[in-house]
Structure 1
């Protein structure tokens, strides 16, 4: 039998927050509950696919009283280590279950995460399991899946470095769901969730600052530079630590926000990110939320705020963008912070 460590700890599964994530969860669960079809959730890095899949598995496992498993694919895995194979035991070759075969026999649900971090040969080994007969074999041992057996794949698509394309025969067996980055309001909820889980200190960063960071992240991210809520959450935590270190001391609002060159233009960009409206349509540049942002950034320092954004948005990392110009992306981020 598979080691218990491969089973998903249902008590550790984070809750799905936000309208977009909840809607996808319901759509996927309908397929999981009423069919035996394998589900494939694909989308950009950091969009929340794995959390949705874990919640699918948790809900199904509790409803059917079956175990839930979790495995991440990698090029080093083999059929023996992952599904079913011959292993040397006491000097003899013995057929042993991998996590997938164990789940099949027990009628559980398994999440196969990072599916495109593997190689096509590994994905093709799932074909017989994804068929209506749902069977796997090695030598003279065959395992037919229990009727309750379910499988959920999660993956980025091949636009991202390190991800392979799917073999046609594998893809034809899947029910696919695309999950893009959620709406800004949902991303704010997710950032709050991550920060609450990861930051042990009191969180004092105001909503205006969080909204500014999230909107900046949404402006800067692209298919080639996939910034996500993880990056925004890091920025919020680092801002919070800076504020705690300074003791919320009272300081004057930085002159940059009042009478610096192009101050009005800068305020309009702040308004767009904080208020969620086009800069040209902002009539009241003294909105309390804008002033709250200015006060916060003045306390921790404009230069510190810029540095936090650069740290959090992967500025100092040598990210593989394929044929795209990394330096151009970095310059865009640096010049867009405030």
Structure 2
């Protein structure tokens, strides 16, 4: 497997490497599309360890992570979930958007995020000590539905945490070019559009332009889609359903591209 492309922003690689040596749980904070998942993929590859990713949502339960009994033929057998597998075999488990999961997930990982480093499986009545190479990583978007999907201080303080944000224009341009092969001048224009929209706080957008959206637009342009149309379908339309806001953003981006 090729090394996932990742452009360092601050000291996050150094911080993660030292945290991995200590096997302290690690929390990635930041908006959607700022490279949190790509970063952990890059680090797992760099550290030559297996990464198991769980994309959390409102139905994600502790059973999904720990495991369940299943019917196999004429007997009932236990099937380990991804968390149990990672704990036993010593992998990195990445809980993407942990705040979206049900509260019982947080309860299940508490004993893994302190000095005990153990997982209790109530359905088996067993406690499993974590493999020496096991590490728990989670991501969290603090700005999403503020007040509703927050992490409790008692959970936050079990992690080393680092904040991700949109990179400065020069670095973001480099990311778009490296990811898509697009001309640097076009990448610069896309980044300028993103920066302008991010500063338009009066529009009341729930999410703003992520680097991921810029990469999508650049890919479409690279394979021949007209620039204005690519920006419209890959950047503007995913942001909002408000027709007036869409038209305002379209007018802005058409001028800048």
TM-score range (shorter-chain normalised) is: 0.7 to 0.9
Aligned to 1:259: none
Cα drift, residue 178 of structure 1: 0.7
| Conserved? CA contact 1:124–1:169, under 8 Å | no
Q: Is the 8 A contact 1:73 1:114 kept in 2?
A: yes
Question: Deviation at 1:52?
Answer: 0.7
Match of 1:180 in 2: 165
Residues 119 and 157 from structure 1, CA distance in 2 versus in 1: closer, same or farther, beyond 3 angstroms?
farther
Is the CA contact 1:107–1:148 (under 8 Å) kept in the aligned structure 2? yes
User: Following TM superposition, by how much is the alpha carbon of 1:12 offset from its aligned partner in structure 2, in angstroms?
Assistant: 5.1
Matches of 1:58 and 1:318 in 2, distance apart?
Answer: 32
1:43 aligns with 30
CA distance in 1, matches of 2:16, 2:177: 25
Per-residue CA deviations over 1:251-280 (Å, capped at 9, x if unaligned) read xxxxxxxxxxxxxxxxxxxxxxxxxxxxxx
Pair 1:54-2:41 in alignment: yes
Distance 1:25 1:147 in 2: 21
Q: Distance in 2 between matches of 1:172 and 1:140?
A: 28
Q: Which of these residues, 207, 210, 213, is aligned with residue 225 of structure 1?
A: 207
* SS of 2:63 mapped into structure 1: helix
Q: 2:218 aligns with which of 207, 232, 236?
A: 236
Pair 1:36–1:166, CA change in 2 (3 A):
same
Larger Rg: 1
Asked whether the equivalents of residues 69 and 111 of structure 1 are also in contact (C-alpha less than 8 Å), the reply is yes
CA contact (8 A) 2:58 2:102 kept: yes
Higher strand share: 2
Shift of 1:57: 2.0
* 2-structure distance, mates of 1:307, 1:227: 16
Cα deviation for residue 168 of structure 1 reads 3.6
Equivalent-residue separation in structure 2 for 1:220 and 1:42 (angstroms): 21
CA RMSD of aligned residues (A): 2.7
Residues 241, 78 of structure 1: alpha-carbon distance in 2 compared, 3 angstrom cutoff: closer
User: 1:20 is matched with which residue?
Assistant: 9
Partner of 1:32: 20
Deviations 1:93-141 (A, max 9, x none): 4443211111111222222223233223322321122121111222322
Quote the residue 1:286 is aligned against: none
Give the structure with the larger helix fraction.
Answer: 1
Name structure 1 gaps, 5 residues minimum. 1-10, 197-202, 244-303, 321-325
2-structure distance, mates of 1:147, 1:237 = 41
> Is 1:125 matched up with 2:114?
no
Among residues 240, 251, 255, which one is paired with 1:335 in the alignment? Answer: 251
C-alpha deviation, 1:328, in angstroms:
5.3
User: C-alpha deviations, 1:169-215, integer Å up to 9, x for none?
Assistant: 3222111111111111111121123214xxxxxx5xx3222211211
Q: Give the Cα separation in 1 of the matches to 2:2 and 2:245.
A: 36
Matched with 1:319 is: 240
From 183, 188, 199, the counterpart of 1:211: 188
Q: Distance in 2 between matches of 1:335 and 1:29?
A: 45
Residues 98-113 of structure 1 mapped to structure 2, 5 A cutoff: 98-113=81-96
Q: Is contact 1:57–1:111 with CA below 8 Å preserved after alignment?
A: no
Measure, in 1, the Cα distance between the counterparts of 2:129 and 2:35: 32
